[in-house]
Structure 1
Amino acid sequence: MQDRPLALPHVFHRAEQLFGAKTIVARAADSTLTTRTYREWAQRVRRLAAALDALGVSPDARVGTYCWNSPAHLELYFAVPCSGRVLHTLNIRLPVDQLVGVVEHGGDEVVVVERGLFAQFWAVVDRLPAVRRVVVVDDGSPASLPVDDRIVDYDTLLASVEPVSGRFVVEDENRAAAMCHTSGTTGKPKGVLYSHRSTVLHSLGLMVADAAGVGERDVLLPVVPMFHANAWGYPFAAVFAGSTLVLTGPSPSPRDVADLMREQRVTIAAAVPTIWTGVLPELAAGDVPDLRLVFSGGSAVPISLSEAWRTTLGVPLTQGWGMTECSPMVTSGRLRTVHDGATEEEQALVRSRAGSPASLIELRLVDPDTGAELPWDGVARGELQVAGPWVAASYYGDGDPSRFTADGWLCTGDVAVIDDHGFVTLVDRTKDLVKSGGEWISSVELENLVMGIAGVAEAAVIAVPHPKWSERPLACVVRRPGADVSRDDVLAHLAERLPRWQVPDDVVFLDEVPKTSTGKFDKNDLRRRYAGHVMAP
């Protein structure tokens, strides 16, 4: 067999040669839409690769991006790694100190920033002496720019060079293609380097029918930001398959997302559950007739939300689970033939699980105390560990080596149960479990039950200290507008469905559950806020 590198130049040239007439649709800052063909996009990728050379960017440099889901960002997704450099997507929602730490840790020489985000990045640039140039993309924002030799206009830069001709070549498939940092919810962000090989294989994994089945006929809308775990790999898979790609642009609202789904006849969309909660009221039956898959990840999907999508639009939310360390796809919750005879209620319960492992991914459950491997019997609870060709073997630089086992598995930090069909139920993050009187209580299970109450919009459950039981669960609840849900309503609902010792001792009501930089519930914030909370009797 021929030994050909699994590298992103192949993905780029395939799209350029086969799918030149396909389109990339993008929403701008003023909500207008622009359309560019893959052929036009490919020429801009070639110009950008030449522009990086003209700027004197080192052949293997990290190139930071501080951008939304935009055409320029997609150009960077390919021009940077295809020219041998490393794409380093920077989370625009990171606190200032973490942002500085991430850029320093990555060693970025150049950072490409959209004009609407320029001010917040420029505020820290003097703390980043290694950043020699800040390239600014005109996203339609009216923000003004200072006069500074370090600032370069993106389009002027592209116009100043001739496109790279011929084929891009990356001979070593294990060469780094991209870098992402974890969101920092369990400490400082840790760097993960994705190789060309892992990125190509992950893209193929998304194209498998029982994962997302991304194909040439699809119209793909990744609402998940391109600055977070490479938008779950969907931009790479879309280009590989030749899908029509729809990009949300800066700070999309639920109405913006709904309009794009409706007007662009989207077939696949991906986002976190909080996004889908906001988008659903903006859509009505018949609005999205071509929609076939609505993927949700980042946190557990409430059954009530998934079923609301199914009854309203005919397409339930399909849950998946992954981590930055896993590129990020690990599981997909698409039903299998074994579920065909199940009732709608039973199928809804299966969809509420994280799903079964993607192609080439291996899972195991391990007893955290003894290290013994546990059975897949739907009962045994253990730490979920992951292995596969797009799973990190270590962190970049000074990351935590304890997260990797001696035999090469990633310790996820998640407690899970796996049934005999290989479907994973995530019980909780180890740090989010409530240990009350020596017994473990799952915050995820409680949250799903609370969010099943008609008047509840969001719910997060945390552990608070208790003098007798060590910890007890506290439910933090957001009411829907106009809803009249009381503490007693929540506790009575749970008491009908759970043993008494699992029912929270108290309920607090919030205007909004705080979110992390990736849109997950920020339980660290809630734990700090309610550390001294006295439970109601």
Structure 2
Amino acid sequence: MLGLMQDQPLMITSIIRHAARHHGGAEVVSKTVEGAIHRTTYAEVERRSRRLVRVLQRLGVATGERVATLAWNGFRHLELYYAVSGMQAICHTINPRLSPDDIAYIVNDAQDVVIFADTSFAGLLAGVAPRVRASVRAVVFMTEPAHMPDIALPEGMDLLCYEDLMAAADEDYAWPVFDERVAASLCYTSGTTGKPKGVLYSHRSTLLHALAVNMPDVLAMRAVDRMLPVVPMFHVNAWGTPYAAPMAGASLVMPGRHLDGASLRELMNAERVTISAGVPTVWLGLLQHLRASGTRLETVERLVIGGSACPRMLMEAFHDEYGVRVDHAWGMTELSPVGTFNRPKAGNADLGRADMFRLHEKQGRALFGVDMRIVDDAGHELPWDGSASGHLQVKGPWVCSAYYGGTPGDALDAEGWFTTGDVATIDADGYMEITDRSKDVIKSGGEWISSIQLENIAVSHPAVAEAAIVAARHPKWDERPLLIVVAKQDQTIDKDELLAIYRGKVADWWRPDDVVVVEELPHTATGKVHKLTLRDRFRDYLVSKAG
């Protein structure tokens, strides 16, 4: 016997319809590419999204076709999120920080038919356009006529203005209802170990993910909150915040391309932001600005940090100096992206300061809907004792089953688990801690050393701005940790003094063998340290030095 409840498909458009009807006056504030502040509401976003569907239809976009975006966080990008997926097309967000070769590859792989772009990417598009002419019919710049760039496009590829198109369309479109498993959006991995791979999200997976990240022990957004997503909308859908915020009725404050510490502090204070989310490098820049300028965050209550491990120093500094709570999260493109979040359980809510911050360093507990486990090299499950370290695997309704172009289940093992590529521990309370990427783990004398733990200790030194640990070849131990650091401005790093901070914090045999000071570290398109470049450069450093 089936239940006697209404059966309504889980549609992304139900989110913006709910926001327009029940939180219609909640603000969407955008700092535009040109620098001006634009204000709108969820009611207006919903109306313009329906108008945008008519634009897409006039451009010949059909069901299932891919519409690319090359844009910062802003109100027009938000309109595209809902219009494209709402008409059963697929919103393909492109990371502009990728190389032109990678951008051309993923546009061709996705067979995008239209590209919507911010004007700041005009030069990038001018170079890429001739290489994507096989599928792309038009480039639409997301601006007013007065700010349209003049670039040359290949014959047969139209150059169009977003607001001109919107002015010529109407908003009589009615949101359709269709199968909730229909594809909604497409994000590509950053391609650090090969060609980027596409992850294709559905309406169902996206809505369930938004519900999960709004739970009390995750983002817990409320209608009174004002969320500023620093994480870009071109990077895993800004961690789901463009869906989760309107679902809760929380206002969105969009920073556009203005992500330096001074710009973020000014926007956060002016717009009364209460919660924000981004990667550690952005928050390090904000912290340095606050300290140097003597300013404060007036309304921010919480910062969510993900993308890479958050140094303990960063958590302590925001908490102690500015009264801002830092929450640690973990995920990946293949998880839509959030898989775990770090908030206390009843049994550890009253821990002392040192133990609490040690707990906060972990990536947290699985969200409802996500299951996880760790396995050894043979695939045998390992215990949740906080010390056994193994390959992290996950499963759930917003976890990738196959990459774009593949067959469902291609990316899973025989038991339906997705292998993340991370090495982790899980303690008895279910708190997971990433100790390394599988490709970055250091195997010294047959034992594993966590590069992440060593990096977090290094950045606690007052002279260190950024740090990376890589495996360097060693004649006796196979591999040994090599510490590569960038000094803070006007600071000098003493190698012996830096290595001394590891005493008593890790086993002696974990301590790096040497320190290399460089002017800057290479970064990926998503802001992470590019370990592959460092490994290639310093793989033989210890061997050469010994010789």
What range describes the TM-score normalised by the shorter chain of this pair? Answer: over 0.9
- Structure 2 residue aligned with 1:450: 458
Q: Deviations over 1:334-375 (max 9, x none)?
A: 222222221111111111100001121111111222x11111
Q: Deviations over 1:386-430 (max 9, x none)?
A: 111111111111599774111211101111111111000111111
Q: Is 1:77 equivalent to 2:76 in the alignment?
A: no
In the alignment, the residues of structure 1 paired with residue 406 and residue 436 of structure 2 have an alpha-carbon distance, to the nearest angstrom, of 27
- Structure 2 residue aligned with 1:146: 152
2:16 and 2:42 in contact (8 A); partners too: no
In the alignment, the residues of structure 1 paired with residue 315 and residue 41 of structure 2 have an alpha-carbon distance, to the nearest angstrom, of 34
1:354 and 1:424 in contact (8 A); partners too: yes
1:275, CA displacement in angstroms? 0.4
Q: Deviations over 1:232-262 (max 9, x none)?
A: 1111111211211000112421211111111
In the alignment, the residues of structure 1 paired with residue 90 and residue 149 of structure 2 have an alpha-carbon distance, to the nearest angstrom, of 29
In the alignment, the residues of structure 2 paired with residue 338 and residue 121 of structure 1 have an alpha-carbon distance, to the nearest angstrom, of 53
2:403 and 2:411 in contact (8 A); partners too: no
Amino acid at match of 2:288: P
Which of 136, 141, 150 lines up with 2:141 in the alignment? Answer: 136
Quickly say closer, same or farther: Cα 1:425–1:254, change in 2 above 3 A: same
2:403 and 2:410 in contact (8 A); partners too: no
Matches within 5 A, 1:328-407: 328-369=337-378, 371-398=379-406, 403-407=411-415
In the alignment, the residues of structure 2 paired with residue 130 and residue 339 of structure 1 have an alpha-carbon distance, to the nearest angstrom, of 55
Amino acid at match of 2:264: V
In the alignment, the residues of structure 2 paired with residue 218 and residue 353 of structure 1 have an alpha-carbon distance, to the nearest angstrom, of 26
Q: Is 1:419 equivalent to 2:427 in the alignment?
A: yes
1:116 and 1:143 in contact (8 A); partners too: no
Matches within 5 A, 1:19-30: 19-30=23-34
| SS class of match (1:124) | helix
- Structure 2 residue aligned with 1:39: 43
- Structure 2 residue aligned with 1:52: 56
In the alignment, the residues of structure 1 paired with residue 305 and residue 408 of structure 2 have an alpha-carbon distance, to the nearest angstrom, of 28
1:448, CA displacement in angstroms? 0.9
1:312, CA displacement in angstroms? 1.2
Structure 2, unaligned stretches of length 5 or more?
Answer: none
1:84 and 1:170 in contact (8 A); partners too: no
1:333, CA displacement in angstroms? 0.9
Q: Is 1:287 equivalent to 2:296 in the alignment?
A: yes
Q: Is 1:62 equivalent to 2:66 in the alignment?
A: yes
2:92 and 2:187 in contact (8 A); partners too: yes
1:116 and 1:141 in contact (8 A); partners too: no
1:134 and 1:152 in contact (8 A); partners too: yes
In the alignment, the residues of structure 1 paired with residue 265 and residue 516 of structure 2 have an alpha-carbon distance, to the nearest angstrom, of 31
| SS class of match (2:462) | coil
2:311 and 2:361 in contact (8 A); partners too: yes
1:212 and 1:293 in contact (8 A); partners too: no
Which of 525, 530, 546 lines up with 1:522 in the alignment? Answer: 530
In the alignment, the residues of structure 1 paired with residue 18 and residue 429 of structure 2 have an alpha-carbon distance, to the nearest angstrom, of 36
1:482, CA displacement in angstroms? 2.0
| SS class of match (1:171) | coil
In the alignment, the residues of structure 1 paired with residue 326 and residue 468 of structure 2 have an alpha-carbon distance, to the nearest angstrom, of 20
Which of 491, 510, 522 lines up with 2:499 in the alignment? Answer: 491
In the alignment, the residues of structure 2 paired with residue 336 and residue 262 of structure 1 have an alpha-carbon distance, to the nearest angstrom, of 32
Matches within 5 A, 1:303-314: 303-314=312-323
Q: Is 1:477 equivalent to 2:485 in the alignment?
A: yes
Identical columns (%): 40
In the alignment, the residues of structure 2 paired with residue 454 and residue 158 of structure 1 have an alpha-carbon distance, to the nearest angstrom, of 52
1:484, CA displacement in angstroms? 2.5
Moved more, 252-261 or 214-223: 252-261
- Structure 1 residue aligned with 2:189: 182
Matches within 5 A, 1:250-261: 250-261=257-268
- Structure 1 residue aligned with 2:227: 220
2:328 and 2:360 in contact (8 A); partners too: yes
Matches within 5 A, 1:71-150: 71-128=75-132, 129-138=134-143, 143-146=149-152, 150=158
Structure 1, unaligned stretches of length 5 or more?
Answer: none
Which of 336, 344, 353 lines up with 1:327 in the alignment? Answer: 336
In the alignment, the residues of structure 1 paired with residue 168 and residue 391 of structure 2 have an alpha-carbon distance, to the nearest angstrom, of 54
Quickly say closer, same or farther: Cα 1:529–1:423, change in 2 above 3 A: same
Amino acid at match of 1:390: W
- Structure 1 residue aligned with 2:472: 464
Amino acid at match of 1:498: V
Amino acid at match of 1:131: V
1:80, CA displacement in angstroms? 0.3
1:289, CA displacement in angstroms? 4.2
Amino acid at match of 1:315: V
In the alignment, the residues of structure 2 paired with residue 489 and residue 208 of structure 1 have an alpha-carbon distance, to the nearest angstrom, of 44
| SS class of match (1:454) | coil
1:206, CA displacement in angstroms? 1.3
Q: Is 1:207 equivalent to 2:214 in the alignment?
A: yes
- Structure 1 residue aligned with 2:416: 408
Matches within 5 A, 1:232-251: 232-251=239-258
- Structure 2 residue aligned with 1:316: 325
In the alignment, the residues of structure 2 paired with residue 302 and residue 403 of structure 1 have an alpha-carbon distance, to the nearest angstrom, of 31
1:534, CA displacement in angstroms? 3.6
In the alignment, the residues of structure 2 paired with residue 497 and residue 458 of structure 1 have an alpha-carbon distance, to the nearest angstrom, of 19
In the alignment, the residues of structure 1 paired with residue 195 and residue 329 of structure 2 have an alpha-carbon distance, to the nearest angstrom, of 25
1:48, CA displacement in angstroms? 0.6
Quickly say closer, same or farther: Cα 1:19–1:316, change in 2 above 3 A: closer
